[in-house]
Amino acid sequence: MNLEELLSLSLKAIWGNKLRSFLTTLGITIGVFAIIVLVSIGSGLQSYITHEISSLGSNVIFVMPGSSGGLGALLSNKLSLQDWKNIQRKTISTAKSTPEIRQLETLKYKNLKSKGAFVFGVSSSYPEVVATAKIAQGNFFTAGQEQSGSNVTVIGQTVVNKLFKGQNAIGKRIFIGNKLYTIIGVFAKIGSVAGVDADNLAVIPVETASVQYGTKSVSRIDIAANNPDLLPIVIRQINQTLLKTLTSDDYSIQTADSIESTISNITNMLSLALGGIAAISLLVGGIGVANIMLVSVTERTKEIGLRKALGAKRNDILKQFLIEAVMLSVTGGIVGIVLGMLVSIVIAILLVSTVTLWSVILAFGFSVAVGIIFGMAPAIRASKLNPIDALRYE
Amino acid sequence: MKTIYDIIKMVNITKIYTGADVETTALKDIDLTVRKGEFLAITGRSGSGKSTLMHVIGLLDTPTSGTYFLNGTDVSKLGEDELAFQRNKEVGFVFQSFNLLPKLSGLENVILPAIYAGVKNADRTQRAVELLTELGLEDHLNKRPNQMSGGQQQRVAIARALMNDPELILADEPTGNLDIKSGDDVMKTLKQLSKEGKTIVLITHEHDIASQAQKILHLEDGMLISK
């Protein structure tokens, strides 16, 4: 029998048992669907984060309190405002920098509130260091305003919308915590970062923040080298400066590249884990195929006996059932791939998700393999049936 | 003038079934020669070894000992796939219960042996249509077995048996599930095939069916008795 005949034979058998075939393929469909969607979410997350990080710029360095990956920083933050000042002095000709004192606050204007807003105490260099901080209206505060501890603020789009209904906010005074600040500028829209609204933001001078929140510690220091080639020199200068007062366990230096590779590792693991979970459901689907094929072989014992009596060789019978199993699982696989891609596209609109070619190929390959692996045992059983016994079977 | 020769030549064929603790001798030293074009009936009560003999003749089963030449080929030592090949080429089966595949049309059922013989689609379809037309089933090509009468189904089965133009037609109680009229039709068809030169071996327990053959052999306790 040639392939065309085998395919039409299998198609007839599958079509002849529509409901059962549908339910069997459903198991594979769900497994493949899960692989496509979960892997798409995983890699969507990865490319999103990678994109976010590369938008920071390849010349950006972050100094974080505590050793890399350690939790020590949460207990005792030894990175201080003074450390930033030392760095700033040392890198005066190679980089711009800003500390960040980060707080969550409620912002108020008259009876309107914006809860859970980020308040960042930063230096006047902030817009030059942080790529996403673009001024849309008004001005950023000056070095003079920064050092004198002025009560001025630059706010994000969400704050403008919530407190001023999108109307002009420049010159208005709002409460940040229990202090009044004058709005001197508005940031351009940043968007949401990993599901968090980055525009619910008020930036104030670092000295002002230090006084208001009674802290000399900084959440991190952002440094932008004047050009990417200076990065190694700037890192050396930072280490030289910080090691005078701190140990290497008290801080860690991260660049866009190092963050990217760390996060890539995490999201790769995530993709694999999600894919693995999905693969288990595909395995269950495969067992369903094996089960239905065994039932089918038993039901069609008489047919197998007759075909053998009429001249079918072992291989003819083996191929017939194997191709049927593969067809079942591949049909399920293709439906799963199409559904998975559609759902991934919908998810991409709401969250992040990227359909990757490798997950489609993998899912398709998996469903073929599942068909062969789980179809093999029933097909072998069918091919070994003795024609006399099979013909007598009722 | 056709050369007359032996289509079946069995010498000392014995078949022993080995159960868990008993051995059953189903066929004992069978010597059987059937010449080309002969119409032979084999009769016997149930348990006489009739079915076993039919299976051995039809290459569905292999003898425990003895030699068997089918149309000049020694088939007593062949493996499963070689038996399938010989069966496909040399034997046409007509069963008591028709054994048509219920989900295939009459035409598709008839084509089956040609598929396993590797005949091209157009050729086999043409031949199947011709055979079914000869048997008066031209209006039933695309009907399924359950849309046909028993007699019609058995005629489809005969067309299937003829599909690969085998030398031997092996009919196992072909009238057993049919009414008298349909049974007569089937017997007429078999006799007609015999006239056309086919070798027919008919297995039956009904005497009046067997008596329509040229020659009757009787099987008793696994041994052949000429009548």
**What are the tens digits of pLDDT across the range B4-34?**
588 999 999 999 988 888 888 999 999 999 9
Q: What is the pLDDT of residues B136-172, one digit of tens each?
A: 999 999 999 999 999 999 999 999 999 999 999 999 9
Confidence of residue B93 (pLDDT cuts 50, 70, 90): very high
Mean pLDDT of A17-22: 88
Residues of chain A in contact with residue B87, where contact means CB-CB under 8 angstroms, are 309-311
Task: Quote the pTM value.
Answer: 0.70
**Alpha carbons A354 and A42: distance in angstroms, whole number:** 8
CB contact under 8 A, A310 and B116: yes
CB-based contact A39:A275 (threshold 8 Å): yes
% of chain B surpassing 90 pLDDT: 75
**Distance from the A297 Cα atom to the nearest Cα atom in chain B, whole angstroms:** 15
The answer to whether residue A314 neighbours chain B at the CB level (below 8 Å) is: yes
Domain ranges of chain A: 3-52+262-392, 79-245
> At residue A183, what are phi and psi to the nearest 5 degrees?
-80, 120
Q: For residue A76, which amino acid is it?
A: S
User: To which residue do tokens 């052949």 refer?
Assistant: B224
pLDDT at residue number A204 = 95
CB contact under 8 A, A311 and B101: no
**Alpha carbon B138 to chain centroid distance?**
24
- B23 by Cβ neighbours in 10 Å (0-12 / 13-18 / 19+) ranks as exposed
Q: Is the pLDDT of residue A296 over 80?
A: yes
Residues of chain A in contact with residue B95, where contact means CB-CB under 8 angstroms, are 391
Q: Chains A and B: how many Cβ contacts under 8 Å?
A: 54
pLDDT at residue number A194 = 63
Q: What is the pLDDT of residues A68-107, one digit of tens each?
A: 655 555 667 888 999 999 999 999 999 999 999 999 999 9
CB contact under 8 A, B81 and A310: no
**Alpha carbon A184 to chain centroid distance?**
36
**Alpha carbons A239 and A63: distance in angstroms, whole number:** 10
**Alpha carbons B58 and B71: distance in angstroms, whole number:** 12
**Alpha carbons A254 and A247: distance in angstroms, whole number:** 16
* Interacting residues of B186 by C-beta distance below 8 A, sequence separation 6+: B151, B154, B155, B158, B174, B175, B178
Q: For residue B115, which amino acid is it?
A: I
Q: Is the pLDDT of residue B226 over 80?
A: no
* Interacting residues of B1 by C-beta distance below 8 A, sequence separation 6+: none
pLDDT at residue number A71 = 57
pLDDT at residue number A364 = 87
**Distance from the A314 Cα atom to the nearest Cα atom in chain B, whole angstroms:** 7
CB contact under 8 A, B116 and A313: yes
CB contact under 8 A, A388 and B89: no
pLDDT at residue number A151 = 93
Please state at what angle helix A18-54 crosses helix A256-299, rounded to 10 degrees: 180
Residue scoring higher pLDDT (B128 or A352): B128
Confidence of residue B2 (pLDDT cuts 50, 70, 90): very low
The answer to whether residue A179 neighbours chain B at the CB level (below 8 Å) is: no
Q: Is the pLDDT of residue B128 over 90?
A: yes
**Alpha carbons B204 and B51: distance in angstroms, whole number:** 10
Domains of chain B: 6-226 (3.40.50.300)
Poorest-confidence range of A10-14, A223-227, B103-107? A10-14
**Alpha carbons B151 and A57: distance in angstroms, whole number:** 86
Confidence of residue B1 (pLDDT cuts 50, 70, 90): very low
pLDDT at residue number B179 = 92
Mean pLDDT of A156-178: 91
In what helix (H) or strand (E) does residue A259 lie, and over which residues does it extend?
A: helix A256-299
* Interacting residues of A320 by C-beta distance below 8 A, sequence separation 6+: A1, A6, A9, A10, A307, A379, A382
Mean pLDDT of B73-92: 92
Q: Strand B6-18 vs strand A112-122: parallel, antiparallel, or unpaired?
A: unpaired
Q: Is the pLDDT of residue A182 over 90?
A: yes
pLDDT at residue number A72 = 53
**Alpha carbons A381 and A28: distance in angstroms, whole number:** 23
Of A119, A133, A141, A143, nearest to A60 by C-alpha is A133
Q: Is the pLDDT of residue A187 over 90?
A: yes
Q: What is the pLDDT of residues A260-274, one digit of tens each?
A: 787 778 878 887 888
Residues of chain B in contact with residue A5, where contact means CB-CB under 8 angstroms, are 115
Size (chain A), residues? 394
Which residue in chain A is spatially nearest to B118 when comparing CA positions? A1
